Structure 1
Amino acid sequence: MSTPSRFTLTEHSLTLWRVTFDNAPVNLVDGTLTSELDEVFTRAENAGVAVMVFDSADPEFYLAHYDLSAKDELDHVLAHPEEVHPYTALLIRLSKLPLATIASIRGIARGAGSEFLLATDMRFASREKAVIGQFEIGMSAITGGGPATRLPGLVGRGRTFEILYGGLDMDGARAEQYGYVNRSFPDSELDGFVDELASRIASLDLQTIKDIKYFVNLATLRPDAEFKDQIDAFWAAVNRPAQQHVGKHLFEAGLQQRSEVERDLPHWVTRFQYRPGSDQE
């Protein structure tokens, strides 16, 4: 494959690979990232990789959210309702990869970034520097990448509603308490723990790793159709006045730039809520 533009790929060994997100200014998820990851997944399966770790080169932003400026993408989605969105397909594939996947979380992972984490096998977070959440309700949209399906099995029904209705961030310690992540660590200990665990798994029998993944997936994964329905609902929301109103004002305030808007997005979305019948533009 060609050199990725949205991340670096480090092949620590034949069986242990690392994807480090590096897409300035705030590590957005977009179509290019999706296609590049899809290529890496294919390579990893063909090469017999046992473990893949996902981390970020940016200590402030792990994966901020999906690129909401992609109007051409929205037009295509609305014109082809029968298609499964590529990012949804990627997350489904990620959850089923015949290898162990580990997210090492330092920085902000909201929206599509949180959805990526939820599709991995294991999630470990910096207690002080991880920020995880689903802010979409503040954008007048459902979460598109599957949290309504994946979160209940991890955190329970009530906490799922708290996360999706509230649209607020949580730090690594609270994410651990809720079951959003496996464990959280003091920031200075995160890398050492993940490296040791990944190296241990990478030294073990690949077929056994595949078998474990297969049977755990049988017990835990929901039907793929549920994910298509959610992303379709998200894109439908993006085409409605309420979402367009909030999005317009957020972009004017600094969305998708290295700004206070991105650092405290759950606060900013409440400033620009759409009120039908008012004199809002």
Structure 2
Amino acid sequence: MQQGVATVTIDNPPLNLLDGKLIADLRRFAAQVRTDRTVQVIVFDSADPEFFIAHGDMHFLSGAAPMDAGDDLPPGTNVVQAVNEEIRSLPQVTIGKIAGLVRGGGNEFVMALDMRFAAIGSSGQAQPETLMGIYPGGGGTQYMTALIGRPRTLELILGAELADAGLAERYGLINRALPAGELEKLLNEIHAA
């Protein structure tokens, strides 16, 4: 941590899959940082230049991985919804530094953050669930609608299109699309502030 800014680097090889291990780590982090008054800003980035978070664990759909989030949550809440809501409700400002692909459950995670900045030429966001005959089950329909409105949400979810940084910025999925070097500079300025 540096001057009230904590950086959380997603590092879950080989694809930064949003699986039970990563979700448990994120939930544990959220519980620990929630009452830490020394942390005012949390920046989420990725150790993998190709994938911020590739997608949710497909074993959640097959039943091979438990989707239940636990007894402490409202009935019907799944573990992806749980982690997204726990991160979304943190009192600190949360920022996503997106320099790779983020799809499905990963995109739902970044949409739960307060702000998102993406690298031009290397980032892309998508909700590809409809290609598999399912719907975004981790909050994607709610978060995306709140960010960009119903018509654009329908376009991106039903079309399962990968939105590059330029389209994501135009539609309002991210705050700003920047060249990779400027993205790093912007976040360094946040650390210095």
TM-score w.r.t. the length of structure 1 is 0.63
Instruction: Report how far residue 141 of structure 1 moved.
Output: 0.3
Aligned counterpart in structure 2 of residue 172 of structure 1, from 155, 158, 165:
165
- 1:41 is paired with a residue whose SS is helix
- The letter of the residue matching 1:72 is A
Whether the aligned pair in 1 keeps the contact of 2:8 and 2:45 (CA below 8 Å) is yes
| Structure-2 residue corresponding to 1:30 | 19
- 1:128 is paired with a residue whose SS is coil
Matched residues in 2 for 1:53 and 1:33: separation?
16
Task: State the Cα RMSD in Å.
Answer: 1.8
Instruction: Report how far residue 199 of structure 1 moved.
Output: 3.9
Whether the aligned pair in 1 keeps the contact of 2:98 and 2:118 (CA below 8 Å) is yes
- 1:97 is paired with a residue whose SS is coil
Aligned counterpart in structure 2 of residue 135 of structure 1, from 125, 128, 133:
128
Matched residues in 1 for 2:165 and 2:84: separation?
22
State whether structure 2 residue 33 is matched by structure 1 residue 44: yes
Instruction: Report how far residue 68 of structure 1 moved.
Output: 0.8
Matched residues in 1 for 2:184 and 2:115: separation?
14
- The letter of the residue matching 2:30 is F
| Structure-2 residue corresponding to 1:147 | 140
State whether structure 2 residue 52 is matched by structure 1 residue 62: yes
State whether structure 2 residue 187 is matched by structure 1 residue 194: yes
State whether structure 2 residue 152 is matched by structure 1 residue 159: yes
Whether the aligned pair in 2 keeps the contact of 1:60 and 1:107 (CA below 8 Å) is yes
The Cα offsets for residues 15-63 of structure 1, whole Å up to 9 and x where unpaired, read as: 2111111111111001111111111112212321101000001111110
- 1:12 is paired with a residue whose SS is coil
Whether the aligned pair in 1 keeps the contact of 2:120 and 2:165 (CA below 8 Å) is yes
The Cα offsets for residues 110-167 of structure 1, whole Å up to 9 and x where unpaired, read as: 0011000100000000011111110000010001111211112221211111001000
Instruction: Report how far residue 198 of structure 1 moved.
Output: 4.5
- The letter of the residue matching 2:166 is A
- The letter of the residue matching 1:65 is H
Instruction: Report how far residue 84 of structure 1 moved.
Output: 2.0
The Cα offsets for residues 161-196 of structure 1, whole Å up to 9 and x where unpaired, read as: 100100010111110011010001011211111221
Runs of 4+ in structure 1 off by over 6 angstroms are none
Whether the aligned pair in 1 keeps the contact of 2:78 and 2:138 (CA below 8 Å) is no
Mark the runs of 5 or more structure 2 residues left unpaired by the alignment: none
Aligned counterpart in structure 2 of residue 72 of structure 1, from 64, 72, 94:
64
- 1:72 is paired with a residue whose SS is coil
Aligned counterpart in structure 1 of residue 8 of structure 2, from 15, 19, 28:
19
| Structure-2 residue corresponding to 1:241 | none
Whether the aligned pair in 2 keeps the contact of 1:155 and 1:178 (CA below 8 Å) is yes
Q: Percent identity?
A: 37
Whether the aligned pair in 1 keeps the contact of 2:59 and 2:65 (CA below 8 Å) is no
Structure holding more helix per residue = 1
Aligned residues: 186
Matched residues in 1 for 2:140 and 2:81: separation?
11
- 2:65 is paired with a residue whose SS is helix
Whether the aligned pair in 2 keeps the contact of 1:124 and 1:194 (CA below 8 Å) is no
TM-score w.r.t. the length of structure 2 is 0.90
Aligned counterpart in structure 1 of residue 174 of structure 2, from 181, 204, 209:
181
State whether structure 2 residue 110 is matched by structure 1 residue 117: yes
| Structure-2 residue corresponding to 1:7 | none
